[in-house]
Amino acid sequence: MLLSPKYQFLFVHIAKTGGTSIRAALETLRWRDPWYYPMFLCSRLSHLSGHRLATKLPRHAKVIAAQELLPKEFFDGLFKFAFVRNPWDLQVSSFHHLRRERPQLLIGHDSFEQFLRYKLDPARPYQYHLDTSITLQTDYLIDLKGQIIVDFIGRYERLHDDFNAACARIGITPPALPHARKSRDRQQDYRGYYTDTTAELVAQHFARDIELLNYQFDPD
């Protein structure tokens, strides 16, 4: 999550949706924001206390966290936005990300099908890096009543165009959008990773995202 009091925006960072690139682009604005320095100090103090001060919005916090913590008038006045991604594609991205950066989590689950079945098994132990990307994306966008409370939902599938649209809403010239953490190990379209059975597993788990965000396995 990235908050800018000066530019009055709140970016809700959903894992594996291009958020690292968006943060990298928007963080250049921090140096122009007089609120950045006290926010940085509070963040460091929170870190030094083991986050017992609770003065930092976590990187992948849901919008409801900001709504509960910030003054109502301030929160309501923010331009709140997030990016989402096709759930089937997101799981392929997660598989390759973990295989590159945390291969120990895939021991015994080397193939994509083994990985997916293990990841979606409700009986397995909690593991942050697995569970972050199976949380429903819509959970990041809603209030306690289940209503979407962000003002703009961009799509990973049209990242640059939607990022430019978000910047226009903020009132800034779009900064360069780097392609952070670009994957070089995907050799095929995400649909090639799935069987009918595994595609249905994702369809069932992410049913609400698929319905509310209007995604399909085969958009063609």
Q: What domains are there in the chain, each with its CATH number?
A: 2-212 (3.40.50)
Residues 115 and 109: beta-carbon distance below 8 Å? yes
pLDDT one-digit tens code per residue, 62-100: 999 999 999 999 999 999 999 999 999 999 999 998 988
Section 13-26 average pLDDT: 93
8-state DSSP, 148: B
Mean pLDDT of the chain: 89
3-state secondary structure of 215: coil
* Nearest-angstrom CA–CA distance, 89 and 116: 12
| pLDDT score of 28 | 82
CB atoms within 10 A of CB 168: 11
3-state secondary structure of 139: helix
* Nearest-angstrom CA–CA distance, 134 and 124: 13
Residue that the structure tokens 């958020």 belong to: 19
Tokens standing for residue 25:
């682009």
Q: Return all residues near 185 (Cβ < 8 A) that are at least 6 apart.
A: 96, 99, 100
Q: What is the pTM of this model?
A: 0.88
Q: Strand order in 2-4's β-sheet?
A: 2-4, 9-12, 79-84, 152-155
Give me the phi and psi of 194, to 5 degrees please.
-105, 150
Question: 48-62, 94-108, 169-183 — which is least confidently predicted?
Answer: 48-62
Q: How confident is the model at residue 120 (pLDDT cuts 50, 70, 90)?
A: very high
Question: 8-17, 26-35, 101-110, 174-183 — which is least confidently predicted?
Answer: 174-183
Q: Which of 7, 51, 53 is nearest to 31 (CA)?
A: 7
* Nearest-angstrom CA–CA distance, 179 and 202: 26
